[in-house]
Structure 1
Amino acid sequence: MIAINNLTFEIGARALYDEANWHIKPGDKTGLIGANGTGKTTLLKLIVGDYKPTSGSISMAKDIKIGYLNQDLLSYVSDKSILHVAMEAFERQNQLHSEIERLLEKLEKDYSDDIILKLSDKQTEFEALDGYNIEYRAHEILAGLGFSDSDQKRTLSEFSGGWRMRVMLARILLQAPDILLLDEPTNHLDLPSIKWLESYLQAFEGAIVIVSHDRYFLDRVVDSIVESKRGKLIQYSGNYSFYLEEKALREEIQGNQYKNQQAKIKQEERLIERFRAKASKAKMVQSRIKALERMEKVDDVDDYNPTVNFRFKFSKQSGRHVVMLENVSKSYPGIPILERADAIIEKGDKIALIGANGKGKSTLLRIVAGADGDFTGKCETGHNVTQTFFAQHQLEALHLDNEILRELQAFAPKHSETELRSILGCFLFTGDDVFKKIRVLSGGEKSRVALAKALTADANFLVLDEPTNHLDIQSVNILIQALRQFEGTFILVSHDRYLLDNVANKIWFIEDRKIKEYPGTYQEYEAWQAKRPQKIDTQKAAEPPKPAKEEPLKKDDNKERQAKKLHKELEGIEQRITEKEHAIKEIEVAMAEERIYSDSQKLGEISRQYESLKKELRVVQEQWEKLASEIMMLEEG
């Protein structure tokens, strides 16, 4: 499908890739991983032709269709609706639709066999390409990515960068390419949308290459891993968890080979040095020197898993109650977020605030942090609480002309240079890296600096909004270690499930405009949530049981009544299907009559009615299938 052979790509004097090889076969689902700066995004750009190799080749099958999601798509702007933008994926269908419309207009004035034949050909091709269903398919993909029906009518320019990226992802998925190249596809998604995308990609029949820092996402989607390391592409069968096991085994073998070879080299060097001055041994010495020069050296194992050895300290302990929320109400025009909500954050809580985008997570976080005062009710901070708030806008607050070390010294003057260098080392800034100017750093590097600042603050309460954005897997692991060592209290919003699993001891979620709490880990919350009956927002949700005393869920008392109601709706849809099928048959009969096909104007009008009815019939049939599935699930459950 795609063959990368002896690929070399140089940036200045540095070879990012040095005779790297990789063959992507049809149906492969691969995670492309590696430390920052190893060229993952560059490789995707080489595959699509944005960059040219210094040497080597990238060859691919003829007429291969590539869908490429990259962060550059954020610059795409349009005043058309997001549904229209997503449907731009159907290039040929849209072209045929326009041509059919033009032919129907011509038919009103110029009735001829040539036009009728062309119209018939276009309509046949349009139907073969499932043209009548493209709007439904676009709607379905956008809904899966979190867009409501009303959202889909809004223009692309109304949305923030993250939501625009979702539209670009929808458009790429609708293209049904032979291979998907996805560069950090989960960066702008919430948890429900990530789970939907996982299911979609699991069923996708083409090949997939994913660059992602979300190890759970990789585990659920890919069946192989390719690691970009030291200019080479190293392949592993299996998902990310298998890669970790296999890599550990390979590194153990490599480490032993390195030690054995080093011992042999030292032994040979001692022997050479011992007999170098003896003329009778000159031939033997030269032979061993040449043998050493020819020896293929085994590299030592790189330590790509730095550990956090910095003690995060604060000068005073907080009281028992860190934050108390009482009767808090918050809304935006037409959008209620919280209504007389109560909650308490206690000392030592490690809270993950989760849920779909638009449910008020960041709003609640700002209220807790004191960054949003436009609400009713009380939000009180407890005794001796000192807090720091990390959000993506903190990146903009970095002083661009400061060196990294100077940025931290100005923020945390009580820490010594040694301590600050230690924490910067934990965040992968070592040696002279600490003297880099902030302005030359990448987005991920700036995120690491901002996180380092947050964790050096003299604060016993951390408020963190999406701290893993722009971080690679290494950096996420570092953040996990730091938060697990932090002895204070924190609340965070994140869509990284591995992070949540490893740091949270309580889960908060907003339901029915109330703050609900699950007293356990994220994994326990997920298991509990899977057993809950599905609820709509207006229903009062049951309080989550404690993990140790989990009770069986009650069956829906109104099950029979709901089934009757759904059956009645199904009968109404069946009646509509019958009516539309009858109307279509009547039109087909009419189109065969001489009085119709001999009158171009009438034929044009009736052809439009015919196409419209067929489209309406497909939509109603889809509604019937969806409702029938709901009835089946209800009756079987």
Structure 2
Amino acid sequence: MIAINNLTFEIGARALYDDANWHIKPGEKIGLIGANGTGKTTLLKIIVGDYTPTSGTISMAKDLTMGYLNQDLLSYSSDKNIVHVAMEAFERQNQLHDEIEVLLKKLETDYTEDLLHKLSDKQHEFELLDGYNIEYKAHEILAGLGFSEADCQRKLSTFSGGWRMRVMLAKILLQAPDILLLDEPTNHLDLPSIQWLEDYLKAFSGAIIIVSHDRWFLDKVINRTVESRKGKLTVYAGNYSFYLEEKALRAEIQRGEFKNQQSKIKQEERLIERFRAKASKAKMAQSRIKMLDKMERVDDVDDDNPEVNFSFRFSKQSGRHVVTLEHITKKYPGIDILDDAEAIIEKGDKIALIGANGKGKSTLLRIVAGADKDFGGTAVTGHNVTQTFFAQHQLESLHLENQILQELQSFAPKHTDTELRSILGSFLFTGDDVFKKIKVLSGGEKSRVALAKALTADANFLVLDEPTNHLDMASVNILIQALQQYEGTVIVVSHDRYFLDNVANKIWFIENQKIKQYPGTYAEYDEWNAKRKLDPKAETPAPQPKKEEKKPEPTKQPQSENKTQQLKKLNQDLTKMEEQIAVLEKDVKELEVKLADNSIYNQAAKLQEMTDAYQLKKLTLREQQARWEALAEQIMELEA
């Protein structure tokens, strides 16, 4: 379908891609991933022809049709209503519609056979292209993306940038091209719209390339993952979770090969050092030196997953009830948000506030934070509660002339520079990065600075409104680790379901103007909500305690056996177990060698089979080793 061969693309002296290769096949649903700055968006622009590669070729069929959603479309505006804008996707149908209207007008005064034939031909082609249903299709897709019937009659120019982007997405989906190229398609979408888009893309018959930082979305849609890293493109035959497992497996194998090679190099260097001074051994020493020089070195594994390595502290603990909401009523003209609603946030809660846009999430968050006082009822903040409120508009309050480190120093003077640099390092600001001025940072970098400020505050209650906007996957993982370590109370609004599932222990949602609560993780809520749609009477279940894993128990011996007999039998069992462990270790090493062969990663079925076998062997080996340790301890106790 599309073949990228030996692609090199240079920006100044920097090669963004260096001899990269990638073949895209019909029907593949691909997630294009990588850290910010690795060239994902650039690659999409190279594919559609906006950029020209420095060298290499991109081959594709001449009649291939492409639909490209990119963030540049945010600036597009029109005075047409959004249905007409979306229907611009049907270029030929619209042309035929206009031609048919002209012919019908002519027939009012010039009723000839020639005009009738032309009209008949145009109407036949229009019908074959399903022209009579294009408006219905436009309404259907716009509804899926969150537009009401009233919205459909509004001009595109009256919508915000995010909603205009949804219209552009609808237009591209209506084109039904051979391949969709989607750059951050879930930006500006709420959860129901993201879930609708997931279902649409899963059923889409063409190929798809998606650039996204939404792990949950990628896992639901894609069946291939392509990583852009260090100028190369590496293909993994599965979704994002599969990619993580396979990458970890490859890293484990590479790390083992690196350690083995380093050990061999040190051994050879010791031999060389020992014998090079002896005349009789000098030839052998020189031979070994040449062998080391020719050895193809295995690189150590780079750490792509920075970890949060600082602890959060606040000077005082809050009381049990952090915020108590009673009889809350909130209305806007024509919209009832809350009506006599009640809820309590308790110490240690980590609450995800979810729902569609326009249903009152941000309003409720502002009420909880005390930023909105215009409501009925009472919102009481509890004893000793100290709060920090993070929202995207707070990026504007950053001091543009400050260096990053200065910004944190002025906000959190009780922290030492070492502590602040550690915090900034966790948010991917390392070395001299901390001396960059705020004004030169990207939107994502400013978000990371603002989040770092929020997390250094002496606050035992965090209120976070869309904290994952503009963050790449590495930054989202850092925020997850930070909030998992945080011992205070959190309430957060986000459309990133992976983030919510790893942070929240309670789910809040607004339904019938009431605040409803689900006591569990997002994944548990999602499963329950899917069942509830089928059975509306289903009640919210209480969270089930996790089962503890059973540890292997040592083999019990009959009390009738004397100590000598027991020791003899246990030692025999130990010997047999050692033999089994040796066989398992050999099997694991053999599978590691096979999995180190890159050619297998293009054979999804064989790769999955071999990976499953490898994981099973490793699990069996660990179990056997645990039994061996338990048995060895039992023997030592008897021998004491």
Normalising by structure 2, what TM-score?
0.81
* Alpha-carbon distance change, 283 to 102 in structure 1, aligned in 2, over 3 angstroms: farther
* Alpha-carbon distance change, 319 to 134 in structure 1, aligned in 2, over 3 angstroms: same
Task: Determine the C-alpha separation between the residues in 2 that align with 1:455 and 1:291.
Answer: 53
**Residue in 1 aligned with 2:424?**
424
- Alpha-carbon contact 2:531-2:538 (below 8 Å) kept: no
Deviations 1:350-408 (A, max 9, x none): 11101111101011111111222222222221111111111111222222222111111
**Residue in 2 aligned with 1:515?**
515
**Residue in 1 aligned with 2:142?**
142
Pairwise CA distance, 1:284: 6.2
- Alpha-carbon contact 2:181-2:209 (below 8 Å) kept: yes
Deviations 1:606-629 (A, max 9, x none): xxxxxxxxxxxxxxxxxxxxxxxx
Gaps in structure 1 of 5+ consecutive residues? 550-637
Deviations 1:537-594 (A, max 9, x none): xxxx997453459xxxxxxxxxxxxxxxxxxxxxxxxxxxxxxxxxxxxxxxxxxxxx
Task: Determine the C-alpha separation between the residues in 2 that align with 1:98 and 1:288.
Answer: 82
SS class of match (1:157): helix
Pairwise CA distance, 1:34: 1.2
User: Which of 537, 542, 549 is the matching residue for 1:546?
Assistant: 542
What are the within-5 Å matches in structure 2 for residues 415-564 of structure 1? 415-533=415-533, 544-547=540-543
Amino acid at match of 2:185: P
**Residue in 1 aligned with 2:114?**
114
What are the within-5 Å matches in structure 2 for residues 212-291 of structure 1? 212-270=212-270, 290-291=290-291
Pairwise CA distance, 1:116: 2.0
**Residue in 1 aligned with 2:296?**
296
Amino acid at match of 1:170: A
Aligned length: 545
What are the within-5 Å matches in structure 2 for residues 191-210 of structure 1? 191-210=191-210
Deviations 1:514-543 (A, max 9, x none): 11112222222223222325799xxxx997
* Alpha-carbon distance change, 453 to 30 in structure 1, aligned in 2, over 3 angstroms: same
**Residue in 2 aligned with 1:162?**
162
**Residue in 1 aligned with 2:394?**
394
* Alpha-carbon distance change, 296 to 10 in structure 1, aligned in 2, over 3 angstroms: farther
Pairwise CA distance, 1:233: 0.6
Pairwise CA distance, 1:268: 4.4
**Residue in 1 aligned with 2:48?**
48
- Alpha-carbon contact 2:532-2:538 (below 8 Å) kept: no
* Alpha-carbon distance change, 534 to 391 in structure 1, aligned in 2, over 3 angstroms: farther
Task: Determine the C-alpha separation between the residues in 1 that align with 2:352 and 2:263.
Answer: 50
* Alpha-carbon distance change, 444 to 169 in structure 1, aligned in 2, over 3 angstroms: same
Task: Determine the C-alpha separation between the residues in 2 that align with 1:52 and 1:281.
Answer: 58
Tell me whether 343-352 or 20-29 shows the greater mean CA deviation. 343-352
Task: Determine the C-alpha separation between the residues in 1 that align with 2:262 and 2:19.
Answer: 27
Pairwise CA distance, 1:281: 7.3
Deviations 1:311-363 (A, max 9, x none): 11111111111112122221221111111211111111111101111101011
1:319 aligns with 2:319: yes
Pairwise CA distance, 1:65: 0.9
Gaps in structure 2 of 5+ consecutive residues? 546-640
Counting aligned pairs with the same residue, the percent is 80
- Alpha-carbon contact 1:516-1:543 (below 8 Å) kept: no
Amino acid at match of 1:127: E
What are the within-5 Å matches in structure 2 for residues 599-610 of structure 1? none
Deviations 1:286-319 (A, max 9, x none): 6655544443332211111111121111111111
Amino acid at match of 1:169: L
**Residue in 1 aligned with 2:4?**
4
- Alpha-carbon contact 1:38-1:231 (below 8 Å) kept: yes
Pairwise CA distance, 1:77: 1.1
Task: Determine the C-alpha separation between the residues in 2 that align with 1:398 and 1:183.
Answer: 28
Task: Determine the C-alpha separation between the residues in 2 that align with 1:286 and 1:230.
Answer: 36
* Alpha-carbon distance change, 547 to 253 in structure 1, aligned in 2, over 3 angstroms: closer
Tell me whether 327-336 or 456-465 shows the greater mean CA deviation. 327-336
**Residue in 1 aligned with 2:606?**
none
Amino acid at match of 2:486: F
Task: Determine the C-alpha separation between the residues in 2 that align with 1:278 and 1:10.
Answer: 52
SS class of match (1:330): strand
Task: Determine the C-alpha separation between the residues in 2 that align with 1:481 and 1:192.
Answer: 27
**Residue in 2 aligned with 1:89?**
89
**Residue in 2 aligned with 1:412?**
412
Task: Determine the C-alpha separation between the residues in 2 that align with 1:4 and 1:436.
Answer: 37
Pairwise CA distance, 1:169: 0.9
* Alpha-carbon distance change, 406 to 309 in structure 1, aligned in 2, over 3 angstroms: same
Pairwise CA distance, 1:278: 7.4
Tell me whether 401-410 or 110-119 shows the greater mean CA deviation. 110-119
Task: Determine the C-alpha separation between the residues in 1 that align with 2:269 and 2:541.
Answer: 69
1:359 aligns with 2:331: no
What are the within-5 Å matches in structure 2 for residues 553-632 of structure 1? none
Amino acid at match of 1:91: E
* Alpha-carbon distance change, 260 to 545 in structure 1, aligned in 2, over 3 angstroms: closer
Task: Determine the C-alpha separation between the residues in 1 that align with 2:33 and 2:121.
Answer: 48
Pairwise CA distance, 1:7: 0.8
1:346 aligns with 2:346: yes
SS class of match (2:264): helix
Tell me whether 174-183 or 268-277 shows the greater mean CA deviation. 268-277
SS class of match (1:114): helix
SS class of match (1:402): coil
* Alpha-carbon distance change, 8 to 450 in structure 1, aligned in 2, over 3 angstroms: same
Amino acid at match of 2:386: T
Task: Determine the C-alpha separation between the residues in 2 that align with 1:248 and 1:366.
Answer: 41
- Alpha-carbon contact 1:66-1:180 (below 8 Å) kept: yes
Task: Determine the C-alpha separation between the residues in 2 that align with 1:454 and 1:17.
Answer: 37
SS class of match (1:150): helix
- Alpha-carbon contact 1:402-1:438 (below 8 Å) kept: yes
Amino acid at match of 1:48: V
Task: Determine the C-alpha separation between the residues in 1 that align with 2:7 and 2:275.
Answer: 45
- Alpha-carbon contact 2:35-2:472 (below 8 Å) kept: yes
